[in-house]
Amino acid sequence: MKYITRFAPSPTGNPHVGNIRTALFDYLAAKATKGSFLLRIEDTDRERFVPEAVDYIHQSLSWLGLKSDGEAVYQSARLKIYQDKVQELLDKDLAYKCFCSKERLDSLRLELEKTGKPPMYDRCCLALSDDDLVKKEKAKEPFVVRFKIPESPVEISWKDKVRGTVTIPTKVLEDFIILKSDSWPTYNLAHIIDDHEMGINLVIRGEEFVPSTPKYILIYQAFGWDHPEYAHMPLTLGKDHKKLSKRHGDTSILDYKEKGYLPEAMINFLVFLGWNPGEGSTKEIYSLSELKQIFNINDVNKAPAIFDLERLDWMNGLYIRNLSPLELTDRLVLFNQDYKKIDRAFLERLVIVEQSRLKTLAEFKEISQAYFSLPEYDKNMLVFKKSNHKDTKKGIEATLEKLSNNEWETIENFEELLGHIVHDNELTNADVFWPVRVALSGKDKSPSPAELLWVLGKEESVRRLEKAIKIL
């Protein structure tokens, strides 16, 4: 079965990691079956519409490499189609106009809730006489169109790709609005017509849509269409098991781009939120192209998954370490244009030495600080706990003396050199390695002295070592 899927976001903000995970699954389900992945912008809510949001959607998808097949469909360009379809339903007496004011609806709902009854529309306008209807239409009273929930079937069930058979009684469904008083359609109606016309045969969406799925199936039936297959994804939650929201930190996918997460790590992390290759596999590092081969929507879990930042950090660090230093340097320059100003050879050395310490690209900024300007440090830090003032000074001085013009090519050269210094002066590692390292980095934690010498170069190394002797 070739799946035609779609990602159908509403341009109301910055795409959420949960939505993007759904898009990923849409993409993979399509690609794994040699089908297509389509994009549709659901911009029927004019009040919540934010113009930049469309751009954010494209940015989010392209960052992760989730390319859609064909042009994006905009619902706002299809108004007439929806309106005609609504008229068709009206003509077939499967829908009706409702002139109830928002105020009446609100107070009705309040009252029903107070008495512990389900807050459903009372079908007041379904009982309107023809005369009243004509009168209201003539007076141009504002109205919405509601879909009439039929008497039968009494329940709707479907075979969900992830949840199995789901059954919901139709009596809990209210006559929902399909056309708003501004004569724009609601999601309830528009997405069905679009999915049908776009040939969507697998709808992947969040679990929150499970309760309303029967409404949509009823609409398909009203038009005499087959409904697509459904796969309702488990939710992604925050650490406190609540729906992921702003108070959990960053929730939009572009936040993670800005923080220096790698798209391939993000994808790998996201896909395991609710999916795994099964069959006892313990492999957990997958590229997009591998996923495109092996992904199966049937392997998606039912239980919600918690978005665990620590695991993402680990995975991102892993992906960073797996990059060649040259690639990582390119990524860094792409990530932050400022790095373009740094001498490329110097930057590459810096990257080689610091690569294993990076969890995100953004961390590079702080980590690289000390290479450009020596941090202020306490002179006591120069003396290691297994050394003393005299030997430490001797160690640094000996190093300074031994630095020649010959060994700046490799890190190994310096390891050897430092080793000789220890041996020749009857010192210990603690008298040489530690103080030289502190003198060069100005920090208690840093790469090895050999690495630092190699990165900093002769001039800067000498300057820093001399400073250390001076303050010691």
Decide: is 238 part of the binding site for RNA (CB under 7 A).
no
Which of positions 39-58 make contact with RNA (CB under 7 A)? Answer: 42, 44-45, 47-48
First-last CA distance in the chain: 74
Helix axes 449-471, 411-424, angle to 10 degrees: 50
By CB under 7 A, tell whether 430 contacts RNA. yes
Q: Which of 276, 296, 368, 425 binds RNA (CB under 7 A)?
A: 276
- The residue within the footprint of RNA, chosen from 80, 114, 140, 241 (CB under 7 A), is 241
Cβ nearer to RNA, comparing 27 with 143:
143
Residue 469 found at the interface with RNA (CB under 7 A) = no
For residue 179, the tally of other CB atoms under 10 A from its CB is 27
Q: Is 207 in the site for RNA (CB under 7 A)?
A: yes
Q: 392-411: which residues touch RNA (CB under 7 A)?
A: none
- H or E stretch at 84: helix 79-91
Judge contact between 170 and 214, C-beta under 8 A.
Answer: yes
Alpha-carbon distance 323 to 334, whole Å? 15
Q: Cα Rg for the chain, rounded, in angstroms?
A: 32
Least distance (Å) from RNA to the CB of residue 15? 11
Stretch that binds RNA, among 173-181, 221-229, 287-295, 461-469 (CB under 7 A): 173-181
Displacement of CA 339 from its chain's centroid (Å)? 26
Q: Which of 58, 148, 196, 243 binds RNA (CB under 7 A)?
A: 243
Q: Is the CB of 1 or the CB of 303 nearer to RNA? A: 303
Q: Which helix (H) or strand (E) holds 166?
A: strand 164-169
Number of residues that bind RNA (CB under 7 A): 89
Under a CB-based contact definition with an 8 Å cutoff, are residues 166 and 158 in contact? yes
Residue among 59, 76, 201, 301 that touches RNA (CB under 7 A): 301
Please indicate whether residue 136 is annotated as part of the active site. no
Position 9 contacts RNA (CB under 7 A): yes
* By CB under 7 A, residue 445 contacts RNA: yes
- Distance in angstroms (rounded) separating the CA atoms of residues 137 and 143: 9
Give yes or no for a contact between 172 and 200, defined as CB atoms under 8 angstroms apart: no
Rule CB under 7 A: which of 94-133 touch RNA? 100-102, 105, 109, 116-120
Among 4, 8, 29, 267, binds RNA (CB under 7 A): 8
Least Cβ distance, residue 353 to RNA (angstroms): 9
Nearer to RNA, 55 or 208 (CB): 208
Cα(56)–Cα(54) distance, integer angstroms = 5
Angle 30-43-19 (CA atoms, 0-180°, nearest 5)?
45
Closest CB 57 distance from RNA, rounded Å? 12
Q: In what order do the strands lie in the sheet with 155-160?
A: 164-169, 155-160, 229-233, 202-206
**What part of residues 53-92 is at the interface with RNA (CB under 7 A)?**
none
- Both tokens of 139, joined, read 């007076």
CB of residue 336 to RNA, shortest distance in Å: 20
> 127 or 224: whose CB is closer to RNA?
127
305 binds RNA (CB under 7 A): yes
Which residue in the list 80, 138, 246, 385 is annotated as catalytic?
246
* Least distance to RNA, CB of residue 167, Å: 6
| Closer residue to RNA, CB minimum distance, 181 or 336 | 181
Q: Tell me which stretch binds RNA (CB under 7 A): 64-72, 132-140, 400-408, 430-438.
A: 430-438
- Output 308 or 338, the one with its CB closest to RNA: 308
Burial of residue 112 (number of CB atoms within 10 Å: 0-12, 13-18, 19+): middle
- CB of residue 340 vs RNA: minimum separation in angstroms? 26
The answer to whether 311 contacts RNA (rule: CB under 7 A) is: yes
Closest distance to RNA from the beta carbon of 25 (Å): 12
As beta bridge partners, residue 39 has 7
181 binds RNA (CB under 7 A): yes
Q: Which of 35, 228, 260, 317 binds RNA (CB under 7 A)?
A: 317
Residue among 183, 179, 193 at smallest CA distance from 73: 193
Q: What is the DSSP string of 404-425?
A: -SS-TT-HHHHHHHHHHHHHHT
Q: Can you tell me the distance from the alpha carbon of 395 to that of 436, in angstroms, rounded to the nearest whole number? A: 8
Give me the active site residues, please: 246
